[in-house]
Amino acid sequence: MKNKVFFITFNGMFILLILLTSLYTCTFMLKGNKKVSVEYNDSYKDSGFIANFLNISLNKYVKVKNNVDTSKLGNYIVKYELPFKTIEREVEVIDSKEPVITLNGLNEINLTYQKEYIEEGYNALDNYDGDITSKVLVEKNIDVNKLGDYQIKYSVIDSSNNKSEVIRNIKVVDNIAPIITLKGNKKITVKVNGDYSDEGYFANDNYDGNLTDKVKVTNNVNYKQVGTYSINYEVTDSNGNYTIEKRVVNVIENIEITYIKGILLVNKKYHLPANYNPGVNSEAYNALLRLQQDGMSNGHSLPLLSGFRSYNTQKNLYNSYVAKDGVALASTYSARPGESEHQTGLAFDIGRISDSFGNTSAGIWLKENAHRYGFIIRYLKGKESITGYKYEPWHIRYVGEGAATEIYNAGITLEEYLGVA
């Protein structure tokens, strides 16, 4: 019995000795660091372990317990177990990524001096917190009344204390050119060997203020030679913005131009010189636009068919009619060069070029309302012996609202109104 007890005791000690020997001769260790971190929502890839005994691999006997959840921040323990030993690795799921701030519009902006800056917007997204635009802090110190470089700083901190910052650079600049305002007319006419006394000008700049004394005037007019010239007015502000304004001067032949009651008269007796070239009269054209708009509002289309014609344009047109119909007939509906109202820039053909236009609703509306805008129907029916031309219900002439109303109410021609019939 004693021998049996001794044998059992001996065997137990032997097994214990083997286990203890195994414990100290077995290699069981972690690959990599004992404590590691992994980003939120990234995949956790374990570095593994080494487990062997006397060069015999024990890997298949190792049980790995891995409860790492990267969708939740926190600390986790990965366990590696052999029957006689356990080792551990600590894994921390962290959020160390900065939020991303995205600016709407440009990151570099030139802002016009004294113009209000209007924020174009931004948004902020975080990998953990999501949309945190409402947490963005905006710092700006722009002085639109002072030229220079400024910054707008957009910053945000997420719940993991990760901070992000974006800069929008603002440069307050003066990029607006000065404005030169001419006194008097921008288009003038003088006779050969005459002269023009400048009516003056004014220059103002949004940044520098009054620059009138900085204006350089260059008079290119040859008053001894018929032609079209310009007087140039130039100015540059302190920030290099340049402006040029021109006054057009037509030097014409010494032919009398007839004004009666302040109205320019042109017909077969009263002529214009060949170089009389004022272009479309702006006052008359603006009145025409109002007439057309109101006509359209009343259901009448009155398109512009012909406006200003130069002396040479009228010459070519008249000659083409003569070639077609002969001088006598052509002269009843087309003016010789120098005798055309279109050369004044005050006459327009609108609606439709046809005698029947006068009987249309548009033609009737035009006849009854043209004077309200300063126009007259220039060539009336039954007045051919006075005007020198056939009835033209489409041809209107600007004379100003006062004169036009008197002529309309009296039912007379311009010649009769001016006393030259």
Closest CA relative to residue 397, chosen from 252, 271, 294, 284: 284
Active site residue 81: no
Of 392, 406, 415, 416, the catalytic one is 392
Chain mean position to CA 111: 14
125-155 exposure pattern, b = at least 16 Cβ within 10 A, e = fewer: bbbbbeebeeebeeeeeeeeeeeeebebebb
Dihedral Cα 126, 131, 135, 136, nearest 10 deg = 70
Distance CA 132, CA 129 (A): 7
Distance CA 356, CA 220 (A): 49
Distance CA 337, CA 320 (A): 12
Distance CA 142, CA 123 (A): 21
Structure tokens at 87: 């080792």
CB atoms within 10 A of CB 197: 6
Q: Which residues pair with 49 in a beta bridge?
A: 30
Catalytic residue list = 392
